[in-house]
Structure 1
Amino acid sequence: MNGQELIGYASAVIVGLVIGLAGGGGSILTVPIFVYLFGIPTVLATTYSLFVVGSTSLVGSVNHILKKRVDLRVTLAFALPSFVSVYLTRRFLVPALPDPLFRLDTVVLPKSDAILYFFAIVMVIAANAMIKNDSPEQGEAADGHPRYGALALDGLAVGMLTGTIGAGGGFLIVPMLVLLAGLPINRAVATSVLIIAVNSFVGFMGDIHQTDLNWNFLLPFTGLSIIGIFVGMYLARFVAPNKLKRGFGWFVLLVAGYIIVRELM
């Protein structure tokens, strides 16, 4: 095992740590880790990411459910359309994308590069949300009546995002649960972790029939990420998640810049 791979495995712990502390955000690092530190092809990296994110978030969500932090009714309203969207995206849309995605004379854009560019754009948006740290304390549903129709539409959009880039989308889910379901931020984070877990597994199931997976690599990496989420959930008692998200947002922004520069070069 070389130094680059050691950094990759150490990063697995960081992914789980951030999910445990902030309820999301760490999953957006998994695809760059797989692509740049382990040399895994981009589309396969998104499949691996879905499994790691799903497994790690599932462990965190069990803890939240036991402590009765998860709103199951809101979870169903948001998650059911999201499940459909993420499965159809992984099962049909991603495989149907042509490769190269774009060709004009000598300009060629391979599918793998297009996914990484899209991923970098999403990272910039996520980093901006984390740095601003402006999660609303209440929204349209402050009256206690969730806007289920709007939640379902948002679930469809997040499902497509998760299916395309292999990230959980927690930076989008949490604000929507606050705004449209009227959940307090701590319950929104807990509910988001469960949605991310099932979303990711549904997307992964859309790939498993057509992908040859290296379980000898994937399972140890996932195990380290799960260790990280236990550490993160423990540290969450002492560390303010908002401060962590702001610092992590700057880190995500740097990684997004690295992806763009590297792909352009």
Structure 2
Amino acid sequence: MTTFLLLIALGLLIGLVLGGLGGGGAILTVPALVFLVGQSATAATTSSLVIVGLTAAVGTAAHLRAAPGCCRVGWRLALTLAAAGLPAAWAGSHLNRSVDPDLLLLAFAALMAVAAGAVWRDAGRRPAPRPSPPNASPTAPAPTSPGHPTSPGHRASSDTIVLAGPTDTRTVAEAETAALARVSWPLAIVGGLGVGFLTGFLGVGGGFVILPILVTLFGLPLSVATGTSLAVVALNSGTSLAARVTVAEFDWAVIVPFTIAAMAASVVARRAAARLPTRGISRGFAVLLVVVAAYTGTTSLIHLT
């Protein structure tokens, strides 16, 4: 019973981070499974792929339901990145079985340190919330013409979605077309290969790598980049699992409760994300990553020496 409650608690923690921040939480899954649950590094990376993949799939579905009739997932970009990462994910999954577990955890510690820097930097870019003055009176809405998109008589087309701000009502397809026109495909392929290898070798989703690629390299708005990133994570996790399915052992007594708790918490956290102090949570999560990376790296070095 104690182990079951621990798995539920860990799943809730990972799911809350994934749902609240849009990614990154899965990187804590492997250390949690190794140091708190007692799995080997190889088994933990396999379990992590199931947990991360299914949680990302639920997150992708939540983005698809975010605006009825709209799509917050850029499927062409997601499939392109996943296709580029497919051979790397397959190779990483096979390499995982031949590496010393302590070397595997040492590599994981280095990855967590890099992820902590990326999360901290991303937190600095997030706009701070602007609370309304307590005595401020609501302002009257600006008058609009009947044909204006914000007027009561206007009915937005089913494929229109606000991407960058209140005046930007491009469709996801239009945003993708603009992104495809400006993208550097060699860099995109390298990015897809790198994320695919990380997913296969270390059992992580790589969302902290994919999001900057989609926002800075492809120029996607964050609302679409987050859903697209989750789709890539789900696809890469599926590929990596396919490469391991005939040789890996799945501890379903650990995986099932952990995954269910993570999926449920990610949905709840995503709905509450707009009301959370995201910048502070992101920086707190970055500090937590540094602490876990230090512990993981130190423990691995002691075992190796």
- Please give the TM-score of this superposition, normalised by the length of structure 1: 0.86
Q: 2:237 aligns with which of 200, 210, 214?
A: 200
Aligned residue number for residue 64 of structure 2: 65
User: Is this contact kept in 1: 2:10–2:258, CA < 8 A?
Assistant: no
Deviation readout 1:91-141 (Å, 9 max, x if unpaired): x3223x35xxxxxxxxxxxx0000000000000000011122256999xx8
Give, in angstroms, the shift of residue 228 of structure 1: 1.1
The alpha-carbon distance between structure 1 residues 244 and 198, as it changes in their structure 2 partners (threshold 3 A), is same
Report 1:70-149 matches (<5 A).
Answer: 70-90=73-93, 92-95=94-97, 97=98, 111-133=100-122, 134=124, 145-149=182-186
User: Is this contact kept in 2: 1:5–1:38, CA < 8 A?
Assistant: no
* In the alignment, structure 1 residue 214 sits paired with structure 2 residue 236: no
Report 1:214-253 matches (<5 A).
Answer: 214-253=251-290
Give, in angstroms, the shift of residue 237 of structure 1: 2.4
User: Is this contact kept in 2: 1:13–1:228, CA < 8 A?
Assistant: yes
Q: What amino acid maps onto 1:132 in structure 2?
A: R
* In the alignment, structure 1 residue 190 sits paired with structure 2 residue 227: yes
> Structure 2: how far apart are the matches of 1:208 and 1:179?
35
Q: Report % sequence identity.
A: 34
Q: What amino acid maps onto 1:41 in structure 2?
A: S
- Please give the TM-score of this superposition, normalised by the length of structure 2: 0.76
Larger helix fraction of residues: 1
User: Is this contact kept in 1: 2:119–2:282, CA < 8 A?
Assistant: yes
Q: What amino acid maps onto 1:130 in structure 2?
A: V
Give, in angstroms, the shift of residue 150 of structure 1: 1.7
The alpha-carbon distance between structure 1 residues 167 and 143, as it changes in their structure 2 partners (threshold 3 A), is closer
> Structure 1: how far apart are the matches of 2:278 and 2:239?
28
Aligned residue number for residue 169 of structure 2: none
In structure 1, runs of 5+ residues without a counterpart are: 99-110
User: Is this contact kept in 2: 1:20–1:60, CA < 8 A?
Assistant: yes
Q: RCO greater where, 1 or 2, for CA within 8 Å and sep 6 or more?
A: 2
* In the alignment, structure 1 residue 171 sits paired with structure 2 residue 208: yes
The alpha-carbon distance between structure 1 residues 240 and 189, as it changes in their structure 2 partners (threshold 3 A), is farther
Aligned residue number for residue 102 of structure 1: none
Instruction: Give 3-state SS (helix, strand or coil) of 1:237's partner.
Output: helix
Deviation readout 1:15-46 (Å, 9 max, x if unpaired): 11111111111100110111011110110100
> Structure 2: how far apart are the matches of 1:23 and 1:148?
25
* In the alignment, structure 1 residue 39 sits paired with structure 2 residue 76: no
Q: What amino acid maps onto 1:77 in structure 2?
A: T
Give, in angstroms, the shift of residue 232 of structure 1: 1.2
Who wins on radius of gyration, i.e. which is larger? Answer: 2
> Structure 2: how far apart are the matches of 1:246 and 1:166?
23
> Structure 2: how far apart are the matches of 1:183 and 1:135?
15
User: Is this contact kept in 1: 2:54–2:259, CA < 8 A?
Assistant: yes
> Structure 2: how far apart are the matches of 1:154 and 1:166?
17
Report 1:9-24 matches (<5 A).
Answer: 9-24=8-23
> Structure 1: how far apart are the matches of 2:79 and 2:125?
22
Give, in angstroms, the shift of residue 5 of structure 1: 5.9
The alpha-carbon distance between structure 1 residues 143 and 56, as it changes in their structure 2 partners (threshold 3 A), is closer
How many residues end up aligned between the 2 structures? 248
Aligned residue number for residue 47 of structure 2: 48
Moved more, 66-75 or 152-161: 66-75
What RMSD, in angstroms, separates the aligned Cα atoms of the two structures?
Answer: 2.2
> Structure 2: how far apart are the matches of 1:258 and 1:5?
24
Q: What amino acid maps onto 1:89 in structure 2?
A: G
Moved more, 212-221 or 32-41: 212-221
